[in-house]
Amino acid sequence: MQSLKDSIIDARVQKAKELPLQREMKIRKIGRAVGFESAAYFTRCFKKMTQLSPQEFRDGKRVAAEALE
């Protein structure tokens, strides 16, 4: 069972997975848009949940990330 904190992070990462497809949006802005104050923390959480950095995900590895779910 996930803690409340982990559930919130998971929801934020799921939302962020939709946004990296928008190339005009910088990674740090995506993190802030989904509720992360720190770009570094956003990147760590995103990578922990997807096994990919937001940039790797954006660069076309979405299929691999979805296969890991």
CATH number at residue 56: 1.10.10.60
Q: Which amino acid is at 41?
A: Y
Residue 25 or residue 12, greater confidence: 12
Could you list the residue range(s) of the whole structural domain that residue 30 is in?
Answer: 4-68
pLDDT confidence band for 8 (50 / 70 / 90) = very high
Residue 25 or residue 4, greater confidence: 4
Mind listing the pLDDT tens digit for each residue in 46-64? 999 999 899 888 887 556 5
According to the model, what pLDDT value does residue 20 have?
A: 59
Q: Look at the chain and report how many structural domains it folds into.
A: 1
Judged by phi (left if over 0) then psi (alpha if -120 to 50, else beta), residue 35 lies in left
